[in-house]
Structure 1
Amino acid sequence: MLLLVSGASGVGKTTARLHARHLFERRHLDGAYETAELFTLGPIPAVPTVAWRQEQVEAAVRRAIALEAEGRHLLFAGDPVPVGEALAAPSADRIDIAACLLDVDEDAHLARLAKRNEPEELIPLHRGFATWLRAHATDPGHVPEAVTTDAWPEMRWGRWVGRAPGPEWAMTVVDTSRLLPEQVGAEVVDWCGRAVAGDAPVFRAGWFRR
């Protein structure tokens, strides 16, 4: 299974991946899960583009497929990859995909961005993307142009673009506003277990044909 942790900048995706990796080791689950983010899948170009990111998402999907053949799962976390990009990756129809959106309230988000010294002119963009991701979690028809513009030509947007909200479009949302980093990691690890067990929303392979 591909376990995607999504979210805007500053919500705790990379922190969640690092703490989750340690928890997998402590709970002797590291044999069942591998963790990755874009930089672990290949070199990052000097000027990353939307198309490059989407090609790397396909690389993550293919890695998850390879791991599944070994009875293992891939936790892909650390980058602002929406679930719609993962589902539209060319090979995504060959594997189950579960998605978890890490979200924060406005005050917490602004505080984290300030701590990271984000340029003032980029703050509205980060806030706008967080708002879009929140809507995208429940409505595939909400401004799909946010990810389909300047896209990698191989993406299969027809799997979900134009769909209305429905029970088949679902993901887990975790509010990290008041959580410590290790608590976010624990939430993600627990979500992984629920998704693998079928107790959390999962996009089953080929779900869009049903």
Structure 2
Amino acid sequence: MLLIVSGASGVGKTTARLNAAPLLGPQFEPVELGCFGPVPATPTVAWRQETVERIAQHAIELDADGRHILLAGDPVPAGEALAVPSADRLDIAVCLLDLSEAEQNARLDARHDPPEMRHLHLTFAEWMRRHAVDPTHLTEAVTNDSWPRMQWDRWIGADVSDRWAVSIIDGSALSPEETGAAIAQWAHAATSGRAPVFRAGWFR
């Protein structure tokens, strides 16, 4: 299975992965996009999507041995992961790691994020929230400048609202360790059938 921790900048995806890793066990391989090749000086949407396809292919290989990938550290929305070419060959679970706007602002301030970029991060965070529950919301956020091999028709223009299921963890009041534990708990729940999963071929 491919498990994806999604979320906007500053929500703590990378830290959550690092804290979750010891709690997951050897059947999980925690990764980020940078584990699958050099990150461009200016990462593009198309680069991100092509890299997710490579990760999906690796997840298929691990699945044969009963192992899973936890992808956390990059802003990969559910619809993006579900549209990479190989996504129809494996089960995918997605969890949105979210924060209140006040907490996201505080964390971005703490890491000296450029003020002129702030509105972009906050707007993307709001889009992520909407996308987690409504796949029809502003789909151009992921389709503009996309990788040509993406299979958007799996969910764009299709009636999949009854099958669209993304888990959500609000980390606003959680410590980094607690957030990592929550992510590990979600991952175990997804792989044991106790949390929402997009099963292979779910869109058919």
Whether TM-score is above 0.5 comes out as yes
Deviations 1:64-111 (A, max 9, x none): 111101110000100000011100000000000000000011110110
Gaps of 5+ in 1: none
Among 175, 181, 185, the alignment partner of 2:176 is: 181
CA contact (8 A) 2:160 2:203 kept: no
Q: TM-score of the superposition, structure 1-length normalised?
A: 0.95
Match of 1:92 in 2: 87
1:50 corresponds to: 45
Provide the C-alpha distance between the structure 2 equivalents of 1:50 and 1:184, rounded to a whole number of angstroms.
27
User: Could you tell me which residue of structure 2 aligns to residue 82 of structure 1?
Assistant: 77
SS at match of 2:133: coil
Q: Normalising by the residue count of structure 2, what TM-score does the alignment of the two structures yield?
A: 0.98
- In the TM superposition, what whole-angstrom CA distance separates every residue of 1:45-74 from its partner, at most 9, and x where no partner exists? 122111111000101111111110111000
Q: Deviations over 1:188-208 (max 9, x none)?
A: 000011101111110000000
Provide the secondary structure at the position in 2 that maps to 1:111.
helix
Could you tell me which runs of 5 or more consecutive residues in structure 2 were left unpaired when the two chains were aligned. Answer: none
Shift >4 Å, 4+ stretches? none
Paired residues in the alignment total: 204
Query: What amino acid does structure 2 have at the position aligned with 1:120?
Result: P
Q: Which residue of 2 aligns with 1:141?
A: 136
- The corresponding residue for 1:192 is 187
Give the aligned residue type for 1:38.
L
The letter for the 2-side match of 1:85 is E
Structure 2 residue 33 is the aligned partner of structure 1 residue 38: yes
What's the C-alpha RMSD, in Å, of the aligned pairs?
0.9
Q: Distance in 2 between matches of 1:112 and 1:47?
A: 23
Aligned to 2:20: 20
**What is the percentage of aligned positions where both structures have the same residue?**
58
> Counterpart amino acid of 1:190?
Q
Q: Deviations over 1:124-180 (max 9, x none)?
A: 000000000000001110000000000000000001112456230011000000100
1:123 matched residue in structure 2: 118
